[in-house]
Amino acid sequence: MSQIVAHEAPGLGRLAWLVMQRDLRLAWRRWDQVIQPLLFFAIVTMLFPLAISPALDELRRIAPGVLWVAAMLASLLALESLFRQDVEDGSMEQWVLSGQPLSVLLLAKTAAHWLLAGLPLVLMAPILGAALGMPQSVWPVLATTLALGTGALSVLGAIGAALTVSVRRGSVLLALLVLPIEAPVLIFGARAVDLAMQGESVAGPLNLLAAMLLLFLSLGPFAMAAAMRISVES
Amino acid sequence: MHAQAAAASAEPQLEVRALHLWRGEKHLLRGVSFAVRPGELLQIVGPNGVGKTSLLRCVAGLLPVESGEILWRNRLLEHSRDEYHQQLAYLAHNNALKAELTALENLRFSASLRRRVGQTDLREVLARLQIPSCADLPVRAMSAGQKRRVALARILLSHAPLWILDEPITNLDVAGVALFEECMAEHLSAGGLILTAAHQQLLRGRSAVRTLELR
């Protein structure tokens, strides 16, 4: 059988590009679902001045924590639907059967997901920070910690999402599973912003966040693929 | 010249030996064995719930083998999974299409995962299945039969020697069934293998078509 011509097979880079292209196009066609986490992030952050006090001095003190908790919950909200539709409509089965490395496909999907659900949070955070009285000098640190942090959260969350995708009402399970592991990211992220506001060096927590992101990026795809195989097999 | 004649003497490429499968407490498949040679179609028949889909999923490598052996070209499935999957086109009950994407976009993505395809290849296959007008239509706007035809177009585009088709002709009209039988006959003549589960007899009267009844 000479129908299969091996040299025509796509390389890893092209595979990743194909998946990202597909997911970004899908997101463009259902943008109303895509902006939900961003809206959630903005609304939660804006509720704090109403509930606590509109005094900027007080808000400034809690701003790093508020922004980070809101960003983390928004990212969790977005993760729930990361793989669900693809598993339900059978696309994921086809990925498993494509003969291509599932880890690469899933990592590309997670990267597209970060572009849609993580990056907007990073870009939006300084504006919300300003609303909570955060000085402009802290914006770069805030955006950097959130960029590293939401990246780490996306990869970790994707492993959890792959594990729980075939469980009915898996979203609660996903939160229980993922939140404890995500706690260090929250601690170091919020701490870095806090330090920056006090004018101190932020190198320590930033390096730790970057290290965590690299660790998750290197091992995460294999865990995702293994978890997804289990979910599809059931 | 006829592949059917050649098929009879050829070595089986797909072999299943004494396959047992449990779903929960239920012992679903009890020692199923069969072999498929190039140019052959094996149709699995049996009442609903007897395990046809599970058997196909198992052979496709979507369900773990609990007891028994599945061999592709004399190699155990577990040892050559990726290679095997590159030679396999699997059609499930669902069409595995994204409702928001057009037929062309869906097909371009799934075919590109395997090899480079051009726009003309895609349009040709859609024309072959007599749905050229659906090319730029989002899948959500299509009828059930049209969606199934797009899913079948994916199988044709895969260029895989082994087709595993779960109820391939659901939702197809009479003309659609005839058309797809033609495609299957062509695939068999080119030395392809088909394993399918269907309630209606496919390719009736053709040689190298066998049925396996599950009880």
Min CA distance, A81 vs chain B (Å)?
Answer: 15
Contact between B48 and B214 (Cβ < 8 Å): no
Tokens linked to B205: 């009267």
Residue contact B160–A9, C-beta within 8 A: no
Q: What is the pLDDT along chain A (234 residues), one digit of tens a residue?
A: 444 444 477 889 999 999 999 999 999 998 888 889 999 999 999 998 899 888 888 888 899 999 999 999 999 988 888 999 999 999 999 999 998 999 999 999 999 999 999 999 999 999 999 999 899 999 999 999 999 999 999 999 999 999 999 888 888 899 999 999 999 999 999 999 999 999 899 899 999 999 999 999 999 999 999 999 999 987
Evaluated on CA atoms B106, B111, B117, B121, the torsion sign reads negative
Partnered with residue B209 across adjacent β-strands are B41
Please tell me if residue B123 touches chain A, with a CB cutoff of 8 Å.
Answer: no
Contact between B107 and B154 (Cβ < 8 Å): yes
Residue contact A98–B113, C-beta within 8 A: yes
Give the pTM: 0.91
Measured between its terminal Cα atoms, the distance across chain B in Å is 37
Domains and CATH numbers, chain B: 3-213 (3.40.50.300)
Q: For A97, which of B61, B64, B161 is closest by C-beta distance?
A: B61
> What's the rounded Cα separation, in Å, for the pair B156 and B149?
10
Please tell me if residue B99 touches chain A, with a CB cutoff of 8 Å.
Answer: yes
Number of residue pairs across A and B with CB atoms under 8 Å? 93
Min CA distance, B14 vs chain A (Å)?
Answer: 14
Tokens linked to A61: 């003190």
Please tell me if residue A95 touches chain B, with a CB cutoff of 8 Å.
Answer: yes
Residue A11 with chain B: CB contacts under 8 Å: none
Residue contact A99–B61, C-beta within 8 A: no
Min CA distance, A186 vs chain B (Å)?
Answer: 35
Per-residue pLDDT of B50-63, as tens digits, reads 888 999 999 999 98
* Residue whose C-alpha is closest to residue B15's, from B63, B59, B64: B59
Residue contact B114–A94, C-beta within 8 A: no
Q: Which residue of A has its CA nearest to B38?
A: A1
Per-residue pLDDT of B113-130, as tens digits, reads 888 888 888 999 899 889
What b/e sequence results for A163-179 when a residue is b if at least 16 CB atoms lie within 10 Å of its CB, and e otherwise? bbbbeeebbeebbebbb
Residue A233 with chain B: CB contacts under 8 Å: 62-64
Residue A3 with chain B: CB contacts under 8 Å: 159-161, 190, 192
